[in-house]
Structures are given as C-alpha cells and as structure tokens.
Copies of this chain bind each other. A is one copy, B any other.
Amino acid sequence: MKTYRKELWFNVPTRRAFINITGEVQRCINDSGIKEGLVLCNAMHITASVFINDDESGLHHDYDVWLEKLAPHEPVSQYRHNVGEDNADAHMKRQIMGREVVVAITDGRLDFGTWERIFYGEFDGRRKKRVLVKIIGE
C-alpha cells in the first residue's frame, strides 16, 4: 500500500468564495503514482468546506444566497460563539456543505461523473488556510 500527503494553501481576499481545486487534486494523484485507491480531501479549518458540485457561477451565487438564508452572518450578536469572533455562521455553513470528500481513483484518475468538480468553500476568509489531500492505494 502506498500513501501520499499534500497541503493546498489558500488566502481568499473575501469572506466567502468557492474555488475549483479539481486540477490540483488530480496533480496530487499523478505525483503519488497511485493507480487504484481513495483520495481524501478535507478542509483543515472548521469554517471552510471541501465539496463536489458544478463549476457554474450562477449556482455558486445561488449557494451563497441560500447559505446566508439558512445561517445568516448578521446580526453577529445572535450567536454565543461570537465573543471576540464574528464567524459563528461560517461554522454552520460549513456543516451544510461538508468538511471533506472521498473520491475513488481508478486507473490513475479521479473516478468522476461528467459534471463532478471539487471545490474549496471558504466562509471566513481573508487569511491563510489549507486543505489536506491524503491518498492511499497502489
């Protein structure tokens, strides 16, 4: 069994953003030399997500509006977590979108349906944060 590990770093200038990281994850698989196995890709921060969906800007706008409705940022005083912080909503948005994805590797490739893409979902940006890519297989 072989394993591979890499951290991907981000510094999003806005509070929220969705960034397509599919190419970077495929490059990790290429570097690992692993042809059959699983890749785990997870946010290492608790106010960010890694998720799989469509690379379509209209949908990303819809997600942003929808998450704000389900877990509003304002008023920040509504959350007990916000003592010296203002990011309680980001901890909730991340639970809806998820911390991690596990993807099959088949013949050295992300084993994906036609429209599947991996995204880093940032909900409390404007600082350096990272994603872990861990691969196991042969």
Other-chain contact of A63, B56, B58, B59, B92 (Cβ < 8 Å)? B92
| A-side interface residues, number (CB < 8 Å) | 58
Q: Which residues from chain A sit less than 8 Å from chain B, CB to CB?
A: 1, 3, 5, 36-38, 40, 42-46, 51-54, 56-59, 61-63, 66, 70-71, 79-83, 88, 91-92, 94-104, 106, 111-116, 130, 132, 134, 136-138
Kindly list chain B residues whose C-beta atoms are within 8 Å of the C-beta of A3: 36-37, 137-138
State whether A104 and B92 are in contact (beta carbons under 8 Å apart), knowing that A45-B115, A58-B80 are contacts in the complex.
no
Q: A45: shortest Cβ distance to chain B, in Å?
A: 5
Inter-chain contact B92/A66, CB cutoff 8 Å:
yes
Inter-chain contact A113/B130, CB cutoff 8 Å:
yes
Inter-chain contact A62/B88, CB cutoff 8 Å:
yes
Inter-chain contact A81/B104, CB cutoff 8 Å:
no
A119 and B115 CA atoms in complex are apart in Å by 21
A105 and B36 CA atoms in complex are apart in Å by 18
Inter-chain contact A46/B115, CB cutoff 8 Å:
yes
A36 and B63 CA atoms in complex are apart in Å by 36
Kindly list chain B residues whose C-beta atoms are within 8 Å of the C-beta of A37: 1, 3, 136
The 10 closest A-B pairs by CB, nearest first: A44-B113, A58-B80, A104-B134, A59-B81, A58-B81, A3-B36, A62-B79, A46-B53, A61-B80, A46-B54
